[in-house]
Amino acid sequence: MFISSPHVLSNGSRVADERQPVSIHADAPSEQWSLRLWQEIEPTFDAILAHPFISGLTDGTLDQKVFAHYVAQDVHFLGDYARALAVIATKAPTLADTAMFARHSADVFDVEFTLHETLLPALGMQLEAVAEIAVAPTTLAYTSYLLATAYSGSFADGLAAILPCYWIYARVGELLLASGSTDPRYQRWIDSYGGDEFATSVAQVLALTDRIGPTLSPVDEARARAHFANTARYEWMFFDAAYLKETWPL
């Protein structure tokens, strides 16, 4: 998942965000659509937190090769995620919403790949080598679902499909930030997703989510909610596939 770029300097240092971000927690008033969405994926989120990939980040026991596999697959994932964001931007209800998703799509390349460029060498791999690594089955399934939904669905469908990648990473990052990691490479990943810059971007998308929800018909709302639940499951599957160093069986 991407990290917002305006607050990262060329020398790698960060500047404080003067904006006050909307809460990314699932404790919003009950009339907010995002709360209903989150309540339905709480078991999935609990399973993510309990996964040994996540616990291994904080205690430093995660196999370096597992994390390298994850980062390589994330590079593959992010290319298509950026494309999905760009498609969703064209369907956004206001020009401001279009501009936000266009910026986020660009941030995938400008910021996220910069993070991977520093992580991969520390894991014994160069970014250029990722092109030679096959896209794993779960990665392909997840990105295919995102792109199909973004292209063929409504704006609400696409928004619901891309939202778990924002929100789950922000919640995981925030929780892991409190524990920290004994491994500086894993700590860098935690700092990125647990930081204020990313939280602000997620809060902006959540505010849009709560603006869109009340406008949907019951049928459209149920379909969008199903997309949200499905891609939340894909988030668990993505961590699990990395942990298993998933490859094609044939």
The answer to whether 235 and 168 have CB atoms below 8 angstroms apart is: yes
> Active-site positions?
165, 235
Which DSSP string do the residues of the chain spell out, in sequence order? -----TTB-TTS-B----S-PPP-SS-S-TT-HHHHHHHHHHHHHHHHHHSHHHHHHHHS-S-HHHHHHHHHHHHHHHHHHHHHHHHHHHH-SSHHHHHHHHHHHHHIIIIIHHHHHHHHHHTT--GGGGGGSPPPHHHHHHHHHHHHHHHHS-HHHHHHHHHHHHHHHHHHHHHHHHH--SSHHHHHHHHHHHSHHHHHHHHHHHHHHHHHGGGS-HHHHHHHHHHHHHHHHHHHHHHHHHHTT-----
